[in-house]
Amino acid sequence: MPMDVPTLRKLLALDPGDPLSRFALGNGLLTLDGSEEALAEAAQHLRIANSEAPEHLATYHALGQVLVRLGETEEARNVLLRGIDRVAAVGEGRGRDLGPAMQALLDEC
């Protein structure tokens, strides 16, 4: 069962420097709320998570989704292209399944 946004906020408060907690909150704001205000906040958390943990492939996908929904298509394209490059550099089963999803999102930009 997915955590709710207040719980995700509490987890991030325990360790504000943890990029995976930032990813979880950003992704939660995207999937559980989706309002423009929530998406703007999600973008902030996901940008930080992406800069702190560039190896985390799901962050590229979630950040790309948020940016597309916010109409920030140029930044979305850049993020998705970087994510696709990262996917190409990893071995099987390490997030490679996100490559086609990121490419499909990129094709929509």
% of residues, the chain, pLDDT over 90? 83
H helix or E strand, kind and range, residue 39: helix 36-52
Q: Can you give the residue ranges of every domain in the chain?
A: 5-108
Q: Find the angle CA(17)-CA(20)-CA(24) to the nearest 5 degrees.
A: 115
Is the distance from CB of 63 to CB of 47 less than 8 angstroms?
yes
Question: CA–CA separation, 88 vs 90, rounded Å?
Answer: 6
Asked if residue 1 has pLDDT above 80, the reply is no
Q: What is the mean pLDDT of residues 26-43?
A: 94
pLDDT digits (tens, 9 = 90+) for 65-90: 999 999 999 999 999 999 999 998 88
CATH entry 3.90.1150.10 includes domain 5-108: no
Residue 56's identity, in one-letter code, is H
Nearest to 100 by CA among 84, 78, 81: 84
Q: How many Cβ atoms sit within 10 Å of the Cβ of residue 99?
A: 19
Query: Which has the minimum average pLDDT: 1-5, 16-20, 30-34, 59-63?
Result: 1-5
The predicted model scores a pTM of 0.92
